[in-house]
Amino acid sequence: MEGKFLQSFKIARIMGIPIELHITFILLLVVVFYFWGLEGLILYMFLFTSVVLHELGHSYVAKKYGVKIEKILLLPIGGMAMMSEISKEGEFKIAIAGPLVSLVLGSVLLGISTVTDYTLAEYPLFQTVGGLNILLGVFNLLPAFPMDGGRVFRSLLSKLTKMSYVKATKLASTIGQYFALLLLIFGLINFNVILVLIAIFIYFGASQEYRALVADTLFENVPAKDIMSKNIVYVNSEDTVDDVLNLMLENRFLGYPVREDGKIVGTITLNEISSSVAKTTKVKDIMSPPVMVPPNAALNELIRGMTNTDRVYVIDGENILGIISKTDLVRTLSILGLKNNQ
């Protein structure tokens, strides 16, 4: 489950990876059942089982490279393996694994269809699912972002030529955008809404891939020690909510490191206090765990590390050198963005 309302729910766990259905996928199943009945629904489920296997192909190889797989999310437009950052060394094998699974699965099903087949919703089951798997594999091997082939292409360019990783990404991204424009024109000429939507998805996905890499490259050269605030105000774990509120009024800071026996044991912010009623509640009872980083931690590491916290502490050994809040981070990102555009 995600967010305040139900957006997705787990239906299985394979290789230790949760498989989740997005709520919109359920709505699509209802639509398929309404128009094509039970047979159409079964055919559709076969197709999305193929998508799960495609994503499991990526995930299996990714785990071999130590990449953490959060989950595989099934959406109406396909599947998405949500994983941590992929290393450049493992990118080629991880990217190509999914399309290879689709191509092998498609070939097997097409082979079976020559011997036996079943008709569902007026379509031969093995032949249809096999053909679509071949199409999925070939489509994903196109050398353009955001398809898997874009990553394969980038990996080969950066390894086999002297082209930098950023330039290889730019080329694959540009190819993806041109391909999306051609697909858009074709979709408009043929009044095909599905192709138009796919073209839009590919175009923005391709441009986002390049922008994300440029930002990541820019930020990796900025260490935490260069943007931290050295003005540190502590609270003690035995202090009360009322003590912290008074401190907030006095210092205008909305979050503080919590100290106990000279060590940082937590973080207290206005968010934690807002959920507390009694002013006599002790800080240690509502504080959140502290997030600590070394002085040379790169800015892109901080961005990933501050997903679920308002601030991190820059630590050298047991000594706290400074604090970086989300406000500090946003300010730094804005300045770097303006500097990069000059």
Q: What confidence category does residue 65 fall into, taking pLDDT thresholds of 50, 70 and 90?
A: confident
For the chain, the helix, strand and coil percentages under 3-state DSSP, each to the nearest 5: 55, 20, 25
Q: Residue 228: its pLDDT value, please?
A: 85
Dihedral in degrees, nearest 10, Cα atoms 261, 265, 269, 275: -100
User: Is 22 labelled as part of a ligand binding site?
Assistant: no
Residues tagged active-site: 55
Q: What confidence category does residue 121 fall into, taking pLDDT thresholds of 50, 70 and 90?
A: low
Q: What is the token pair recorded at 27?
A: 């709505």
Domains along the chain with CATH numbers:
1-141 (no CATH), 143-219 (no CATH), 224-341 (3.10.580.10)
Could you tell me the CA-to-CA distances from 305 to 82, 97, 290, 325 in Å, in that order?
A: 16, 29, 11, 12
Residue 137 near residue 99 (C-beta atoms within 8 A): yes
pTM: 0.66
As beta bridge partners, residue 292 has 313
- Using alpha carbons, select from 138, 162, 134 the residue that is nearest to residue 152: 138
Q: Residue 15: its pLDDT value, please?
A: 86
Q: What confidence category does residue 4 fall into, taking pLDDT thresholds of 50, 70 and 90?
A: very low
Residue 336 near residue 328 (C-beta atoms within 8 A): no
Backbone angles phi, psi at 46, to 5 degrees: -60, -40
Q: Residue 122: its pLDDT value, please?
A: 75
User: Is 148 labelled as part of a ligand binding site?
Assistant: yes
As beta bridge partners, residue 298 has 223
Convert the pLDDT of each residue in 296-326 to its tens digit: 887 777 776 676 777 888 888 778 888 888 7
Convert the pLDDT of each residue in 333-342 to its tens digit: 777 666 655 4
pLDDT of 2 > 60? The answer is: no
